[in-house]
A and B are shown apart, each in its own frame.
Chain A
Amino acid sequence: MNHSDLELLAAYFDRELPSWKRKKVFKLIQGSAEARARFRGFLKDHRGLRKLVIAEPTGALVKNTMARIHSPRFLQSKDYYSPTREVVLNPLFALSMAAGILVITCGISVYIFSSIKTLDQEASQAAAKNKTENALAQTKPSPAKEETPSAISQENTGKAKAEQVAKGSGKENPQNSLAKSPSNTVAGKGKSLNNNQEELPLTAPAMEVFSLVRVESTTPLVLKTLTANENEIKASLYSFTSKEKEIRLEIPAKDAGKAMAQLKAALAALKIQLLSDPVTSRRMRSPQWKTNYLLLVEDISTAELIALVLTAQTAPAGKDKEPSAAWDTVVVSKITANDRKQLKTMAGFSPEEIPMAPGEKTAPGFGEQKSKGSSELVGRKTALGLAYNPVRPALNSPEIKKFFEARKPIQKGNLQVLFLIRSDL
């Protein structure tokens, strides 16, 4: 029997062994005479120890204890016992703690010292470099002094520094003295560096960085289509589309399939044909599957967009179905570069690959595809609807190809609209 077997046997004896380990002990006891002997030994000792006399305290124990507790000295004492305190009061513990604190303090000091030293060196190097550059710029004969921005900034830096030095010391202009001094030459450059190591680099106002820059961006618009006034919605959309022509409409809907079907009906009312692949159609018919859809509509006017937004939510979701709102909120924002990138990943093209107005530069391959356009879609506006989550559309599906072939340049003032209909889980 090895040590592990003996430990197992002892644990079994103490009833502290999990059931899955007991089988091993049973086998051990059955198969080994030594194990049986050990077990009998444990049993014998256990019985012996249980029979040992229990020492009874004298009656004075309770009396003395309570007398101590009631004594004024005890009651005044704020001291209390805790096993942790016993450990903390151990001299070895205190010693190791002190050593630990000393090591940490030393480490922090060394780190701070080295950091300060490095910063100091960098600052002095930069100051020396700046001064040398100024000196070289002034001593260099310039036949035609061009006022480039860098030259101006260097000059400004030199002037500012000179002014500061003059103010501080009350001596003559360092520009003059610099021209006279031996350090002004290239040979004296090393000396100059050493002499001015403690000076900090100076900057002129023209060298200011992190300046404020005006950024043009349109704040997203949240339309409560179910509760808001129709005129307010129209006004908001007109205002938004006057600034942006690439619109992204995000629609959270409880039943995205129903919302998609309503949009399809509304598109049909505007004589726009929706192209969708079989997977999308199947998902639209199955409301139990939560699906997110995208819908790309191009070359529509703001009035058409308003009609789409307002009528789609109350359009019947199918034949013989009562109209009911599938969504109540629409978030209007600009199509971002990221949206285009993701659309390209899923549909194989980006909305920007189409000219915004006639006569503008045509996207590569656009003309050829246009000429090969599907005869059935000639003269008709199309929209592309795809289910993108949890299913991804097939990249080269016939519907995508058809849509891409039927695309036309967007008329000036018209919009490119990307609807994102998300299942509101």
Chain B
Amino acid sequence: MSGYRVTHENEAKLIRQAQEGSATAFETLVRLFQTKVYNLAFRFLGNKEDAEDVAQETFVKAFRAIGGFKGQSKFYTWLFRIAYHQTVNHRRKKKPALSLDLKIGNSSSADFLLPSYEDNPGKRLEAEENKAELELALEQLPLDFRACLLLKEMEGLSYEEISQAIGIPLGTVRSRLHRARMELRRILEDS
């Protein structure tokens, strides 16, 4: 993310300028939200190239539709909604591919910023294994469950925001989250 300090006021200002057709303002918005959108797409698809395609498509569609954004929800919730639909469409179009990006013990990847365990190599290995197991378990979750869980746990959205982002009722969010947690725990315990 860029060093641009985002506040509610300047986010609103940027959105307004983008709605008026300012590409520069929209570019700033892209820089602000690219990591979140990309990360979400990556967690959904498990593939860097696909995630980048989806993130790009999300922003292009967002630019087209920004005129219709009325501020009834938060901007990033609105953006996630587009990203989620894009991911679903992408998965529908493309055959599921085996991910090579997230493998157990793939600590050499430059993308991974792991905490230092140099003082205790045993602990480091255990932590890495746990993390890899969790990532694998996450990949095995159905997309609906995974979307709810990621938006809640990684993005910290509220039930209402998740409901707006995915376009499902509040009760369904609660139920899906609960079932996602149960399923994740079951997969982890089985492994």
* Residues of A bordering B, CB below 8 Å: 6-7, 10-11, 14, 16, 41-42, 45-46, 48-58, 60-62, 64-66, 68-70, 74, 77, 79-83, 86
Contacts and interface: CB of A to CB of B under 8 A. Distances in A.
Nearest to A49: B153
B23 interface: yes
A352 B182 CA distance: 84
Nearest to B127: A51
Contacts of B115: 51
A62 B31 contact: yes
Contacts of B38: 55-57, 61
B167 to A, nearest CB: 6
How would you classify the secondary structure of chain B's contact residues: helix, strand, loop or mixed? helix
Interface stretch (B7-15, B48-56, B117-125): B48-56
B111 A60 contact: no
Contact of B39 (A55, A62, A83): A55
B56 A65 contact: yes
Given A65-B56, A68-B56, A52 B131 contact: yes
Contacts of B20: none
29 contacts: A6-B182, A10-B174, A10-B181, A14-B152, A14-B159, A45-B181, A45-B184, A48-B131, A49-B134, A49-B149, A50-B153, A51-B115, A51-B131, A52-B154, A53-B111, A53-B131, A54-B35, A55-B43, A55-B111, A56-B39, A57-B51, A57-B52, A61-B55, A62-B30, A65-B60, A80-B68, A81-B61, A81-B82, A83-B82
Contacts of B113: 53-54
A49 B81 CA distance: 21
A14 B35 contact: no
A51 B59 CA distance: 27
Contacts of A64: 56
Q: Using C-beta atoms within 8 Å of the partner chain, give the interface range for chain B.
A: 35 or more
Given A11-B174, A52-B134, A81 B65 contact: yes
Nearest to B154: A49
Given A6-B182, A55-B48, A79-B64, A66 B35 contact: no
Given A53-B113, A64-B56, 19 more contacts: A11-B174, A45-B181, A45-B188, A46-B153, A49-B153, A52-B134, A52-B135, A53-B112, A54-B39, A57-B35, A61-B38, A61-B52, A62-B31, A65-B30, A65-B60, A69-B63, A80-B67, A81-B61, A81-B82
Contacts of A66: 23, 27, 30
A65 B115 CA distance: 32
Contacts of A52: 131, 134-135, 138, 154
Contact of B55 (A42, A51, A57): A57
Contacts of A56: 35, 38-39, 111
Given A41-B185, A62-B34, A83-B85, A48 B130 contact: yes
B81 A83 contact: yes
B147 interface: no
A48 B184 CA distance: 12
Nearest to A80: B64
How would you classify the secondary structure of chain A's contact residues: helix, strand, loop or mixed? helix
A160 to B, nearest CB: 67
A302 B38 CA distance: 93
B103 interface: no
Contact of B178 (A10, A41, A69, A83): A10
B135 to A, nearest CB: 7
A243 B116 CA distance: 108
Contacts of B114: 53
Contacts of A55: 38-39, 42-43, 48, 51, 111
Given A16-B159, A50-B153, A54-B35, A74 B55 contact: no
Residue among A14, A54, A55, A77 with most chain B CB within 10 A: A55
B84 to A, nearest CB: 9
Interface string B163-191: 00001000000110110011011001000
Contact of B167 (A10, A46, A83): A83
The 5 nearest A-B residue pairs measured at CB: A81-B61, A57-B38, A49-B153, A55-B42, A10-B178
B143 interface: no
B174 A16 contact: yes
Interface string B40-81: 001100001001100110011111110110000000000001
A58 B34 CA distance: 10
Contact of B52 (A6, A41, A60, A82): A60
Contacts of A77: 64
B159 A45 contact: no
B158 A16 contact: yes
Contacts of B68: 80, 82
B145 interface: no
A11 B181 CA distance: 11
Residue among A16, A70, A79 with most chain B CB within 10 A: A16
